Structure 1
Amino acid sequence: MTGQALYELAMDILALRFPDGDIPVSCEDMTGRALGLINLLIAENAFLDARLKKTDPAVSPITALTDEIGQSAEIVSRAMPYGLASLLILNENATVASLLHGLYTAALNEVSHSYGAGIAPIREVY
């Protein structure tokens, strides 16, 4: 998925896109912040992505919204739209941002549990 596609999904969640798919001019500030916020989400999810791929953690930021996001499709498509929507709306409506952040973390938990990156008890080894 590209950064632009992720941004459009987040704007759909926020109901800030016209039926024809265009983003209102009044949302230019959100468009300007989208790239940095997507890179923040990429960094935040690098460890989970590495666990899913069974590789070492690596952060691969995107440089333009047209770039492909290199993380697991499950993270990008199921969780990141809610995370990005939460970050985009945070300054305007903290209540909605909190609700969306809850959906984001729930989606991350679901992804991590369904792909073997589950919670296990801590064992003491001497």
Structure 2
Amino acid sequence: MTTTYKVRLTKVVKRKNQETGKKEEFTEMDLTLDVPEDKYILEAFEDAINDDEIQYPDGIDELPSSCRSGSCSSCLGRIVEGTVNQEDQSFLDDEQMEKGWVLLCVAYPTSDCIIKTHQEANLG
């Protein structure tokens, strides 16, 4: 029997608060999916969209992706909580993975997870 995990995907952006003038974090997306342990997180997200199980939030039209083979950083996320298996990837080094960077196109959940999406610009 396949184990299924809860994977919470969030997109948080910093922008200027019009009232205070200070930069603050705003959540643009916060979705939770049931992802089988043998399915990539990006694939499970797209299946849920296609099956009308979830809908894109306003202003979000996709999770970024390009190569779909773990060899670029388009689908980069950052694990806030939980673990994944991304042994199929070839882009991130061990240090980056230890810091929580994850390629959603080739990541299988190995526990319940919280992952920040749309992180490519933040990879240092």
**Fold similarity call, TM over 0.5:** no
Greater per-residue helix proportion: 1
Band the TM-score falls in, shorter-chain normalisation:
under 0.3
- TM-score, structure 1 normalization: 0.28
Greater per-residue strand proportion: 2
Task: Specify the structure having the higher radius of gyration (Cα).
Answer: 1
